[in-house]
Chains A and B, each alone.
Chain A
């Protein structure tokens, strides 16, 4: 027991130098940007936790009651989406990437704690956290709000720690012989179960049984700062601590097993095809292979394409609200590789740049493939989300959906290619735990993409309610022109030898 505690203390202490190592890599304007970002995060968190309680109708109105009834579902949704996000990331992000970390004695406990620390550096987590704080504040009102929000924060801690532990367990199963199929089967069963609940119209009844109801009751007891609140909150916090410990234990088990699925992908044979008919086709084929043959990219794509659609179907989101979805899905898909698109070539980037082909053709191929990924993911989401949207869409709704699909995809592609050329990173995209950019850059990218694409989606959600379907088409024109202009500027930058040399030299070091 003493040895275990000593190891745990040592592993916890090791997190600090790793964080310092990561922060030391910040250059130039990055340091003040990080400080400003952290300040903004804490300011916004405080604002979401307090301001809604001061609004008219807080606690006492019908809307407040509706929010109160929604809270257990929101608590559950936070847990479920965080769990899926970490599962999709193969056990969570790494403080030190695998290939950089081989020379250092980093224990699985340190890795686990690092992954746990990095979970909140994700716009989906941040937005959900703020939503929970805001909903709770509006539903509970201003009386002893501090106590209520302590319980909400305790839930965020517990939910994140539990999600991380579950994700390690799933990753452990995935690394067993045939484990990948077990996980896929489990995922399919879960999806089928959700679909059957939705079809049988039992979603509300099932959500009423959610254990998160108890956590919400504890939070509301905070208004009276009584013993039930104190005990309940303590139980949630202790539960979180236990989840952290269990997660560390499971992380050790996972570390003993190699990532079989990724290793099998490295060794598998590919049937040869006839040579491509044109230069562009040859380039597109190579780029497409780099995306679809990657286990983590495929996994991330499926999660992003299906989960939002299933949630929309479960919530019976109507056609006129569906235009909000493509933007979120396209943004998420771009965050798989698009924001650092040249890193797809990895160490092969130098060789590829030595081939006799016009740079703009190479650029066009990468844009094409990124567009494909984003459009397919968003279209899949709309198909799944539309299953319970109430019959067929009207002409206005269908036009708005189509316009959103094209506009946000091109918007996200243009922005992603801009970042890819301006701020390339040497990142390992082979690992499921890898990201196309460092964690702090990912927060910036995801925030920007989520904000712009949601706003664009909302514009078309309004247009979907108009009588004239041509409104969506007219609205799409300026968005498309702006995106095409940005793409043209980026293509010109990429065609400059100095810029290309910098990008290639950067991404090819991994």
Chain B
């Protein structure tokens, strides 16, 4: 069932032989990955597989030790700022400045991204879809884990990025929040954005993506069409790869 997926020409996310090391620990080893514009890929695997590290490299937060990483055509090593301008990133943990409100987060992002006037309407709409409208002007230190996750997805998506990077967006989120996140992914794809979702929740990965890449120990151990991971047979094959 699992094999190497064929590379797509001029992908929006293009990773070749990515290598990340923290001291003696190799977090990511020679990882290849590509996501075309309008496509959605899930990074799946157990805790510590290297999913979040890969996402942080793509977001320009961690510099790669080796390999080539292009986000929206920008080399993250040489042009991290360019990569950040075309992407939206939901970090795996936290992601919110404790004493700022959601609206202030949106304003900061809008200013730094130089969004034209009118972004506020989309932002408000997204806040309402994620049931955060009433909390828009409260400092985020009082937010629950799920609220924080939902807000991070809003921040990643509200400016309609060409590359959407969602790291564990479903973690601790209620079914309505998960549904809203799936809608955001579908909207982004329909606009031609490339979406990369990292999650350890297989069922949601299947729903969110059309391709899945399985990581273990910082390496790609398999890749498949996401629907092949559905059902009992898919889950069995997935578990076999993780063992």
Contacts and interface: CB of A to CB of B under 8 A. Distances in A.
Interface of A: 263, 265-272, 275-276, 278-279, 282-283, 285-286, 289-290, 293-294, 345-348, 350-358, 430, 497-498, 501, 504-505, 508-509
A210 to B, nearest CB: 42
A345 B97 contact: yes
A286 B142 contact: no
Contacts of A354: 59-61, 84, 87, 89, 91
Given A353-B61, A354-B60, A270 B95 contact: no
Nearest to A345: B97
B96 A347 contact: yes
Given A289-B104, A501-B62, A279 B97 contact: no
A83 to B, nearest CB: 28
Given A346-B98, A498-B63, A430 B141 contact: yes
Given A354-B60, A501-B63, A505-B62, A286 B112 contact: no
A275 B115 CA distance: 11
A508 B95 CA distance: 8
* Interface size range on B against A: 35 or more
A355 B63 CA distance: 15
A11 B140 CA distance: 35
Contacts of B107: 275-276, 282
B94 interface: yes
Given A347-B95, A358-B81, A293 B109 contact: no
A508 B61 CA distance: 12
B99 A294 contact: yes
B98 A497 contact: no
Contacts of A294: 99
A150 B25 CA distance: 53
Interface string B44-86: 0000000000001001111100000000000000001100110
B138 A355 contact: no
B137 interface: yes
Contacts of A351: 89, 91, 94-97, 105, 152, 155
30 contacts: A263-B142, A268-B138, A269-B138, A270-B138, A272-B104, A272-B137, A275-B110, A275-B111, A276-B111, A279-B111, A282-B107, A285-B104, A286-B104, A346-B97, A348-B96, A348-B140, A350-B56, A351-B91, A351-B96, A351-B97, A353-B61, A354-B61, A355-B112, A355-B113, A356-B84, A356-B112, A357-B81, A358-B81, A501-B56, A509-B93
B139 interface: yes
B100 interface: yes
Contacts of A290: 97-100
A241 to B, nearest CB: 39
Given A270-B101, A293-B139, A355-B108, A508 B84 contact: no
A268 B139 contact: yes
Interface of B: 56, 59-63, 80-81, 84-85, 87, 89, 91, 93-101, 103-105, 107-113, 136-142, 152, 155
B30 to A, nearest CB: 20
B137 to A, nearest CB: 5
A68 B19 CA distance: 69
Contacts of B89: 351, 354
A289 B93 contact: no
A505 B138 CA distance: 26
A501 B61 contact: yes
Q: Which of B84, B101, B108 neighbours the largest number of chain A CB atoms within 10 Å of its CB?
A: B108
Which 5 A-B pairs rank lowest in CB-CB distance, beginning with the nearest? A347-B94, A266-B142, A348-B97, A356-B84, A497-B63
Given A263-B142, A282-B112, A350-B95, 10 more contacts: A269-B137, A290-B99, A348-B95, A350-B94, A351-B95, A351-B96, A354-B61, A354-B87, A357-B112, A501-B63
A347 B93 contact: yes
Given A270-B138, A497-B63, A505-B62, A355 B109 contact: yes
B94 A348 contact: yes
A197 to B, nearest CB: 38
Contacts of B96: 347-348, 351
Nearest to A275: B107
A283 B107 CA distance: 10
B111 A282 contact: yes
Nearest to B140: A348
Contacts of B152: 351
Nearest to A292: B99
Nearest to B59: A354
A503 to B, nearest CB: 11
Contacts of A357: 81, 112
Nearest to A501: B62
Contacts of B142: 263, 266-267
Contacts of A265: 139, 141
A352 B97 contact: yes
B97 A270 contact: no
Given A279-B111, A358-B81, A501-B63, A348 B98 contact: yes
